[in-house]
Structure 1
Amino acid sequence: MDDAYRAALDRFEEDLRARRLSPHTVRGYVADLVDLFGFAERAGVAEPTQIGLDVARSWLAETAASGAARATLARRTAAARAWGRQASTPGLVRLVTPKPRSPLPAVLSQRQMTDALTTAADDAATHPHDPLALRDLAILEFLYATAARVSEVCALNLDDVDFTRRTARLSGKGGRDRTVPFGVPAERALHAWLAADARGAVLAAARANGARRAGAAAAAAVGWVGGGGGIQKTETEAVFLGARGSRIDPAVVRRLVHARLRATPNTPDTGPHGFRHTAATHLIEGGADLRDVQELLGHATLATTQIYTHVTAERIKARYAQSHPRA
């Protein structure tokens, strides 16, 4: 990639971060623009500002021909339009975003979710000296209680949790913060994990390992805390930690959710977002107002939340077909 394209890409990424888009969105848009710029260079376009509507459409056509999903095409179109606005390239702004299909999200029944959380609690009770078992239970309970995104769970800090009010402050998409409640089971699981013999044990072990690996001098040079420990100061603020004492990674949360559901009989496999879908669906099935669910999920528009009314309708239809004699 030549200098002009590289400079345009850097400006685009800087603009996205200034708009406080999620790291996941920034990575996706930047990767899409890298692909668009590579296509334009191969097509002989000398400057990024010379990329017109015809080039962008050819790029999208090539993407579609490669078998990319409609959601990928929609994101790539959105990325090109975002760069067009930033670079004042009118042609790209006129790109039409393909509407991706919206499959109904997979959800667990209330019994299946109860079984999954019960088996996690049993594992934690069976392994009282394993702090990560307590952590995993706390994450699962918190995911279901708050319908939080996996990125919001990983970003949760100690001062975001208010045990007096049983609420947590989540940092959502676009820099929109919201406060969500959680119930007694999540409170108990969080208390057990945050106790000194659980979360503190993970920190202490990581500091000891870090000191052995790096030595006291190296630890001081990079600003580790605890007089030569292995933990960055900012990481000690995180509620949920990885096995090495740093802030837990979304991939770790995804793995533990999948592992828990695979270990629970007669339960479909899904990820953390499935917990979010499940919590929202159960709220609506229980009579919660749609706008209250919108606030809990942090959706910018009610239209996004309305998919859960469709999920509930499908579940009612399925039960009707199974139980009504003239269905």
Structure 2
Amino acid sequence: MTTSPRPRQLAPEPHGRTPWPAGFDAAVDGFERYLSLERSRSQHTVRAYVGDISALLEFAAGRHDVRVLEDIDLATLRLWLGEQQATGKAPSTLARHAAAVRTFMGWAVREELIATDPSLRLRSPKNAKRLPHVLQTAQVGRLLDMDHPERGSHQLAVPAPSESDGARKPVAPEPGAATTTDPPQPTARQRAVAERDHAILELLYATGIRVGELTGLDIDDIDHDRLTLRVLGKGNKERTVPFGQPAHQALSNWLSRGRPQLVLDRSGPALFLGERGARLGQRQVRAMVERALAGLGDTAARGPHALRHTAATHLLDGGADLRTVQELLGHSSLATTQLYTHVSVDRLRTSYQQAHPRA
């Protein structure tokens, strides 16, 4: 696994401060291996946590002349977080810094690099849980109809060439000559991309899976008979997620009509492919979903995460219990699901009217 390069030594300051101790370097390398091999954290998390700890150690060595891990105390940790806050870091970033420190210090105690954990009494700013906007059921219907390759076809429109592209000016037809107003027909590859994008939107809403889980799917992860997906989630935890007939039809259309137009010898078993035949990336999916949601015109919901949240909320509104939604979303803690999936006011009102004797 490769991570972004990090400094191995502190540049000596003008007054000749000693560079980064070798023991810090070994500790960061060991922590990185622990995160990736033992904890199976994602590459993004490993990169973020290693960067946070590198910044902490640079601060401790460069500003406080700390030479061994044992000398990093609670005061040092608080000073470092305070400096991060003073630079205008968001509460969510500060909360991640604190989480990285707690994980690192806990690991260092277990590895006997330090005797006591100074982060046990470290408090971090509360990270406000700002939930994404949720689509109404009618909006979801419009989104999927608008994006449908046959019913919507807005993504299949072929732009007319402009003069800036070197196109010649159109010549006026002769009097009485036949004219045509038919729009240019989409190519087979454009239709394939439309089939793919529709299948992605259907699947994201049907299952509530994360965008990283979606792009990691292979063809054999789909059970067409049981209408389920085999999903590899965070921490390499595998789970089975069901989906409905509309998503199944969209997937079948993509596999039978769209994917063959994009597949190459190097494509491998990837379920969703980019236009060059490689496995589709998360950035491409995010951009497509952003465009599709923006096309609705009457919602602030943006990105695949909004569809995940919408799916969970609609499940709760339909009567699914919280633990079922927890399992579908792949949350390790029910508390995460409670924060992630709010219950709509309409459902609360309905439950109140049905249950309270004085409603």
Give the TM-score normalised by the residue count of structure 1: 0.81
- CA shift at 1:260, angstroms? 0.7
5+ residue gaps, structure 2: 1-7, 10-21, 158-185, 350-359
**1:69 equivalent in alignment to 2:90:** yes
Q: Secondary structure at the match of 1:21?
A: coil
**1:32 equivalent in alignment to 2:52:** yes
| Counterparts in 2 of 1:288 and 1:183: CA distance versus 1, 3 Å | same
- CA distance in 2 between partners of 1:283 and 1:128 (Å): 38
Within 5 Å, give how 1:189-200 maps onto structure 2.
Answer: 189-195=250-256, 197-200=257-260
Q: Which residue of 1 aligns with 2:246?
A: 185
Q: CA RMSD in A?
A: 2.1
Query: Which residue identity is paired with 2:36?
Result: R
Q: Which residue of 2 aligns with 1:211?
A: none
Query: Do 2:331 and 2:337's aligned partners in 1 also have CA atoms closer than 8 Å?
Result: yes
Q: Secondary structure at the match of 1:237?
A: coil
- CA shift at 1:180, angstroms? 0.5
**1:140 equivalent in alignment to 2:161:** no
- CA shift at 1:199, angstroms? 1.5
Q: Secondary structure at the match of 2:263?
A: helix
**1:79 equivalent in alignment to 2:100:** yes
**1:302 equivalent in alignment to 2:334:** yes
- CA shift at 1:14, angstroms? 0.7
- CA shift at 1:201, angstroms? 2.0
- CA distance in 2 between partners of 1:100 and 1:245 (Å): 40
- CA distance in 2 between partners of 1:311 and 1:104 (Å): 12
- CA shift at 1:142, angstroms? 0.7
Q: Which has the higher contact order (CA 8 A, sep 6+)?
A: 1
| Counterparts in 2 of 1:268 and 1:182: CA distance versus 1, 3 Å | same
Within 5 Å, give how 1:1-327 maps onto structure 2.
Answer: 1-2=8-9, 3-18=22-37, 19-43=39-63, 44-88=65-109, 89=114, 90-121=117-148, 122-123=152-153, 127=186, 129=188, 130=190, 131-195=192-256, 197-204=257-264, 226=265, 231=266, 236-307=268-339, 310-313=342-345
Q: Which residue of 2 aligns with 1:216?
A: none
- CA distance in 2 between partners of 1:245 and 1:202 (Å): 5
- CA distance in 2 between partners of 1:167 and 1:125 (Å): 29
Query: Which residue identity is paired with 2:146?
Result: T
Query: Which residue identity is paired with 1:302?
Result: L
- CA distance in 1 between partners of 2:44 and 2:275 (Å): 23
Query: Which residue identity is paired with 2:207?
Result: T
- CA distance in 1 between partners of 2:97 and 2:213 (Å): 24
| Counterparts in 2 of 1:71 and 1:308: CA distance versus 1, 3 Å | closer
Query: Which residue identity is paired with 1:8?
Result: A
Give the structure with higher Rg (CA).
Answer: 2
- CA distance in 2 between partners of 1:237 and 1:114 (Å): 30
Report sequence identity in percent.
Answer: 45
Query: Which residue identity is paired with 1:6?
Result: D
5+ residue gaps, structure 1: 205-225, 318-327
- CA distance in 1 between partners of 2:97 and 2:90 (Å): 11
**Per-residue deviation, residues 119-141 of structure 1 (Å, max 9, x unmatched):** 11022677472211111111111
- CA distance in 2 between partners of 1:128 and 1:278 (Å): 33
Moved more, 177-186 or 63-72: 63-72
Kindly tell me the number of residue pairs found equivalent between the two proteins. Answer: 288
- CA distance in 2 between partners of 1:316 and 1:259 (Å): 33
| Counterparts in 2 of 1:309 and 1:87: CA distance versus 1, 3 Å | closer
| Counterparts in 2 of 1:94 and 1:308: CA distance versus 1, 3 Å | closer
Q: Secondary structure at the match of 1:198?
A: helix
Query: Which residue identity is paired with 1:158?
Result: I
- CA distance in 1 between partners of 2:246 and 2:26 (Å): 51
Give the TM-score normalised by the residue count of structure 2: 0.75
Query: Do 1:81 and 1:94's aligned partners in 2 also have CA atoms closer than 8 Å?
Result: no
Query: Which residue identity is paired with 2:260?
Result: G
Query: Which residue identity is paired with 1:68?
Result: K
- CA distance in 2 between partners of 1:202 and 1:175 (Å): 29
